[in-house]
Amino acid sequence: MDKKTILDYETVDIDLEKKELIIIDQTLLPGKTEIIRLGTAKQMWDAIYLLQVRGAPAIGVFAAMGLYILATQIETDNYVIFYNEFKLQRDYLDSARPTAVNLHWALNRMDRLVQSMENEPVSDILEALKNECLAIKQEDINVCKQIGEYGLSLVKPGDGILTHCNAGQLATCKYGTATAPIYLGHERGYNFRVFADETRPLLQGARLTAYELQSAGVDVTLICDNMSGMVMRNGWVQAVFVGCDRVAANGDTANKIGTSVVAAVAKRYNVPFYVCAPTSTIDMNTPNGAGIRIEQRKPEEVTDMWYKQKMAPEGVKVFNPAFDVTDNDLITAIVTEYGIARAPYTESLKEIFDRKNAK
């Protein structure tokens, strides 16, 4: 019997009978694979904030399923009372992380459904919410597969690919976004050579991307963040694929801190830099990257985490943004499930949504 790998677990799942969310606690990977169950709003909020569940698409699925579970706990048949409590729970979950647009997108999608059923029995609303959150999960799988197909068209067998942070299966429900072309290529014998940035300070590249790619049998090499220039200069990288948490209307993208550095280095060495973005992460109401709110996290993540003892002077000031913004002129293309957008992004992203709305 084959040994079970991390890819055999569901990143986000729901127990419909017990009304609990089921996730992998990603803060413990790769050393320990622990499946946890969550049934309260506080547990769900903490899971998002503490990065037990992470990655924009996975957070969206998690939030939708969580909101459904919380809705089942509202004990009333009165729509007004139900919806007021539902809104409180929606807003609470929405406050967990400000940058990833999928969290807001998924919660709003569930909210619009409830508003559209104002004259329906609460029992029917709950059934509809259940079906909607399950649909969001299946859509995520389909979207990632399609992003993978488009991304695969941009590379050739034997290419070296660099990725930053974790936009893999652990950040979605299957395939990942930035790793989707890698997984599909691996299935088809492309023999990619992948370089995974460690991604300081939380090491998602080291703990998660390198772990899941190695588990899948992909040729992956872990590098420190400050080594990307050397591997590109050596000619070992033919493409960079990264995920993102939010895309502005002009094509500026917010992704894990350090992504903009990789993009600048890639431009210096003429390596194509591709952002893999489900349309759910594209925020056409935000004109440019300056309008994207960047989450600031605790200084201890930089000074103390992963060390047996503090590795910085006591009292030193720490700047610890979770994300940075990559300017659109550093981005070769944005890969979505409805096609590949290129500059000028104000036009091509609109065309992407035209295709989406036409289906």
pLDDT in tens, 200-252: 999 999 999 999 999 999 999 999 999 999 999 999 999 999 999 999 999 99
pLDDT of residue 40: 98
Domain ranges of the chain: 6-144, 154-358
CATH number of 6-144: 1.20.120.420
pLDDT of residue 108: 97
pLDDT of residue 85: 98
pLDDT for 116 beyond 80 = yes
For 60-73, what is each residue's pLDDT tens digit?
999 999 999 999 99
pLDDT of residue 99: 78
For 310-349, what is each residue's pLDDT tens digit?
999 999 999 999 999 999 999 999 999 999 999 999 999 9
In this structure, of 17-31, 77-91, 92-106, 125-139, the range with the lowest mean pLDDT score is 92-106
Fold (CATH) for 154-358: Rossmann fold (3.40.50)
pLDDT of residue 74: 98
Quick check: is 324 catalytic? Answer: no
pLDDT of residue 1: 43
The per-residue pLDDT of the chain, averaged, comes to: 96
pLDDT of residue 101: 85
For 261-271, what is each residue's pLDDT tens digit?
999 999 999 99
Domains 6-144 and 154-358 share a fold: no
In this structure, of 54-63, 98-107, 135-144, the range with the lowest mean pLDDT score is 98-107
In this structure, of 120-129, 230-239, 306-315, 346-355, the range with the lowest mean pLDDT score is 306-315
Confidence category of residue 2, pLDDT binned at 50, 70, 90: low
Marked catalytic residue, from 245, 304, 324, 354:
245
Percent of the chain with pLDDT over 70: 99
CB 183 within 8 A of CB 146: no
